[in-house]
Chain A
Amino acid sequence: LAGTGDEEWHRHWVCLKAGSAGRNRFESGRNGGQHHENSNVSKNKQLKEKEEIMRRSVSIATFFAVAILGISALTAPPKNLAAATQEKTEAAEVKIDNFSFGPAELTVPAGTTVTWTNRDDIPHTVVSTDKVFKSKVLDTDEKFSFKFEKAGTYPYFCSIHPKMTGKVIVQ
């Protein structure tokens, strides 16, 4: 290669990429007497080719980036959907019927909101043995909810019917 530096390297690289025509131009420019006359035209052409190559490279890179993003978006579960699923599992229900809590023992992850619904035809209450929560007197179809933030075992009972007991285990 005649000369050093970026200009020469680009010229060479452009010629290699551009094919034989470019190579011939490079060689004729290198060897012939018209090197100086054609140098400006050649430079412009080379720059245009360089821009074209850059444009292609950017297009290809963009295509690949979009493709990768698309594939990852399709394969990974969407964040919102995952959150919605988690919200769904963060609620649990206990039914009160015929003087019993059902289920009497409930295991839930921390952050779950447990809702007690009185399906009985008698009023009931939901009172934590450790005084963590306490409902008002619940008539038929009335509800009481409590969010369990911390892990632990939460025994509870009905203050009107102390024989009615239940337990929420928060993991």
Chain B
Amino acid sequence: LSRGLLGTAAPLAADLVLLLEIAMGVGLLVGAWLARTRRFRQHAWCQSVIVVFNLVLIALAMIPTFRIQVLPRIPQKLGKAYVALATAHAALGSVTELAGLYILLAAGTRLLPEKIRITQYKPWMRSVLVLWWLVLLLGFATYVRWYVPHLFR
């Protein structure tokens, strides 16, 4: 395992995931701005790429780490910050990613049956954007708890 590039105790993979997640969070804000400026095609592309890429990151980096380092400690160590934060991040992140994929399928394709398609896009998209950033903050907190040494000890 190679050392990270942020100067913390994290491995390179964790640092890369954090940087990519922050970039994706900013990317979603840019995508929202594109919608406000009525560039809907670019908006659709921007948000779709981010949601799908995030799914890849979750599958390749987050789930394996979670399975090894966190899952064996649930529920016994849920009282510990490092387990609680990671669990909350994983739970809320899963919901957010699923909601993002749902919007993607409902708004961008005709794969879903009409009954479960959404018509009011804006509230859904705004809610997912808020959730996304909440999950990002939880992810950052998880990173700090897992990889940043205590300053005062």
Contacts and interface: CB of A to CB of B under 8 A. Distances in A.
Contacts of A140: 80
B123 interface: no
A155 to B, nearest CB: 13
A53 B126 CA distance: 116
A121 B80 contact: yes
Interface stretch (B23-31, B127-135, B143-151): B143-151
B1 A162 contact: yes
B11 A161 contact: yes
Interface residues of B, number: 22
B106 to A, nearest CB: 39
A160 interface: yes
Given A98-B150, A121-B82, A139-B77, A160 B2 contact: no
B22 interface: no
Given A162-B3, A163-B4, A163-B9, A137 B150 contact: no
Consensus secondary structure, chain A interface: loop
Interface residues of A, number: 17
Interface string B40-84: 000000000000000000000000000011001100010011100
Interface of A: 98-100, 121-123, 137, 139-140, 157-164
Interface of B: 1-4, 8-11, 68-69, 72-73, 77, 80-82, 145-147, 149-150, 153
